[in-house]
Amino acid sequence: MILSAVVTKEGKFYVALAPDIDVASQGDTIEDALSNLKEAIDLYFEDEDSIRPEINERPIITLIEASP
């Protein structure tokens, strides 16, 4: 299963989020955050009651500029 991942920097850590299943993790580097996210996702799917999304298409993730 391929899931989306969004990485942001929050303070001195990188936070990785899988929005398809609302699972997140963090790390000192982007690579650490993504590795930790993969581990968190694996643990999430070990739970028999976890929600397994039907993903037909990849989401479009982009940036927009908004007025403050």
pLDDT digits (tens, 9 = 90+) for 8-35: 999 999 999 998 889 999 999 999 999 9
pTM for the model: 0.80
Give the SS3 label for residue 35.
helix
Query: Residue 16 carries which side chain, given as an amino acid letter?
Result: A
Cβ-contact 50, 41 below 8 angstroms: no
User: Structural domains in the chain?
Assistant: 1-68 (3.30.160.250)
Query: Residue 14 carries which side chain, given as an amino acid letter?
Result: Y
45 sits in which H/E element: helix 30-46
In this predicted structure, what is the pLDDT of residue 1? 80
Q: Would you say residue 57 has pLDDT above 80?
A: no
In this predicted structure, what is the pLDDT of residue 3? 87
Q: Which two tokens stand for residue 33?
A: 């955050």
Q: Would you say residue 58 has pLDDT above 80?
A: no
Burial bucket for residue 19 (CB in 10 Å: 0-12, 13-18, 19+): middle
